A and B are shown apart, each in its own frame.
Chain A
Amino acid sequence: MWRPSAVFGSLLRTAAVLICVVTVTACGGGGYAEVVVDSGPPPVALLGISLTRVGPEAIEVDWSDDPYVDRFIVRRDGHTLANVNATTLIDASVFVDERYCYQVSGYDTSGLLVAASDTACVVLLP
């Protein structure tokens, strides 16, 4: 999915860096250089994540949507569990008496990471 604001932001940052470089060069390095610090929004949006036990051996993972995400990858304990374009998933491949940690990452159509959740963990009891 094309992300106009992200592209525009990227162009602005590139332009700011170029201006700095040109300024320093033009002054021969003898003057002072103005440093521009880009304090724009972080490039990766934060996704909310929640876990719900929906059965003795089933966990529902829900996460928030992001308009720039094309696909989500759900990881369990660091391993890819699913590649989906939904915002919910029921993981029935779990066992009681275990602890599972989930993390969701969102990628745009170019495959760039544009959103990510924190890691959320849950314990299943017998």
Chain B
Amino acid sequence: MAAVGVVRPSAAAEINLSGTGTFKPPSAEQLASLPADLAFTRADLASGQWSFVVRYEDRTSDADSDPYAGRYLGAIRAFRLTVGSTTIEMPVDQAELSVSDGGFGSPHRESIRLEAKSLAPYGALRVGWIQLNQRSRSDDLRGAVGALSSDAMPAPSTIANFAASSPFDRFLQLRIDRPGEARPLLYLSSSRVSVAVDSAVAR
């Protein structure tokens, strides 16, 4: 029988993470320059309020051969972002949960990232809940050193609230890039986000 709110260590489970917070709204000039067909209205962006919900499966295999980097393709089953009063569902086939224990060519950095990408007529929309633990370049956080001991998928509580190197190294980010343009059309980021594990459903 499936149990809500209980994670059985031996069984796969679908975890619901949710985050809510605020961001600094774009200026009036920035808002006025945005295309009308954007996923979010100017009122949404001016609200400074956003939230996200991610549902992921915690027994997905690591698809990355780097022993210090975990790529859990297909783990994310739903990625929902709300800005103001508009909610969008990000396509899960473009979503990824990745873990770095000093991998990806940066031994001095650990990270947990939940990211999703969507292609739209106005550009590529990318959303991410990103948390970093970084030391100086001479440090090596691979293995037992640092906040992560491996590239295995961390516990849900760690994915929600990783021991980041600074309060500003855990952030929700949204950016929209137009093809061929170096500067993003829209870039929002905020560390004023509270994230929690809502529920876990054993499968």
- Docked complex: A17-43 residues within 8 A CB-CB of B: none
Residues of A in contact with B, size category: 10 to 19
Task: Give the complex CA separation of A125 and B175 in angstroms.
Answer: 13
B interface residue numbers (CB < 8 A to A): 24, 106, 109, 130, 132, 134, 136, 165-169, 171, 173, 175, 183-184, 187, 189-191
In the bound complex, do residue A52 and residue B165 qualify as a contact, i.e. CB atoms below 8 Å apart? no
Whether A52 contacts B109 by the Cβ 8 Å rule is no
**Given known contacts A123-B132, A123-B134, A125-B132, A52 and B191 CB-to-CB distance under 8 angstroms:** yes
Q: Distance (Å) between the CB of A89 and the closest chain B CB?
A: 14
Q: Give chain A's interface secondary structure class.
A: strand
Of the candidates A54, A97, A99, A121, which one forms a contact with B189 in the assembled complex, judged by CB atoms under 8 Å apart? A54
How far, in whole Å, are A123 and B183 apart by their CA atoms in the complex?
19
Q: Which residues of A contact B (CB under 8 A)?
A: 50-56, 60, 97, 99, 120-123, 125
For A60, what are the chain B residues with a Cβ–Cβ distance below 8 Å?
24
Contact partners of A51 in chain B: CB under 8 A:
168, 191
| Cα separation A97 to B136 with both chains bound (whole Å) | 12
User: How far apart are A123's CB and chain B's nearest CB, in angstroms?
Assistant: 5
Residue pair A56, B187 in contact (C-beta under 8 Å): yes
Residues of B within 8 A of A54 (CB): 24, 187, 189
A103 to chain B, nearest CB (A): 13
Q: Which of A97, A122, A125 contacts B168 (CB 8 A)?
A: A122
CB atoms of B187 and A122 under 8 A apart: no
Contact A55 B183, beta carbon cutoff 8 Å: yes
Q: Are the C-beta atoms of B184 and A121 separated by less than 8 Å?
A: no
Write out the residue numbers on chain A whose beta carbons fall within 8 Å of the beta carbon of B165: 99, 121, 123
State in angstroms the CA–CA spacing of A92 and B141 once bound together: 29
Min CB–CB distance B190 → chain A (angstroms): 7
